[in-house]
Amino acid sequence: MRAALLFTIALLNSTMSWAYPSYSAEWSHRSVIYFAPTNDEHVKQFLLETLINECELQDRDLITLVVTEDGFSMPKWVKHEFNLKALFNMYDVKPGSHTAVLIGKDGGEKLRWGKQTDWEHVKQTIDVMPMRRYEMAQKVSPCSA
C-alpha cells in the first residue's frame, strides 16, 4: 500500500514536471500559450497575427505557443517536449474552449483571454510590468518607426 502511494505521488510530480514552463526564479522570456480544441480558423488567425506583430513580440521577449486538445502544437517540438494534457490542466483550460494565457518572466499568469487576441492590450499589459519598464529604459525598440 505504501509503495502504491509513493508511486502515485511520484507519477503526479512527474506529470507536472513535463508541464510548461519549468519553474525557476526568473525566465529569459515571456510566453503566450494559446489553447484550442483543434487547429481551427482561430488558431490560424492567432498564428497570422503573431507574424504581423513579430517585431513587437520579439522586442518584448515574448514567445508564443499553440497547443490543441487533439495534439497539434506550434512550434511542432512542443508536443514532444511537454505533456500537453498537463498544460491544459495546469492552466485550468476548459475542454472545447479557446484560451490564451500571458505568462511573465517571473512565471506568473498576467492576462487571460478567449478566441480573439487584442495584441495592443497584450503589449500594453507587458509594457507596464516593472521588468519591461527596466528593459525599455535600457534600449531603444528596433520596431519604432
Residues whose CB falls within 8 Å of the CB of residue 15, separated by 6 or more in sequence, listed in order? 83, 86
Q: Is the dihedral of CA 22, 76, 101, 83 positive or negative?
A: negative
Backbone angles phi, psi at 57, to 5 degrees: -70, -40
Q: Is the pLDDT of residue 9 over 70?
A: no
**What is the structure's pLDDT at 8?**
46
Residue 11 lies in a domain: no
Assess if residue 71 is contained within a domain. Answer: yes
pLDDT bin (cut points 50, 70, 90) of residue 1 is low
- Separation between Cα atoms, residue 50 and residue 28, nearest integer Å: 19
Q: How many domains is the chain partitioned into structurally? A: 1
CATH number of the domain residue 36 falls in:
3.40.30.10
Q: Is the pLDDT of residue 75 over 80?
A: yes
Domain membership of residue 15 (yes or no) is no
**Residue 79 — φ and ψ, nearest 5°?**
-70, -20
What's the average model confidence in pLDDT over 34-44?
98
Residues of the domain holding 128: 25-138
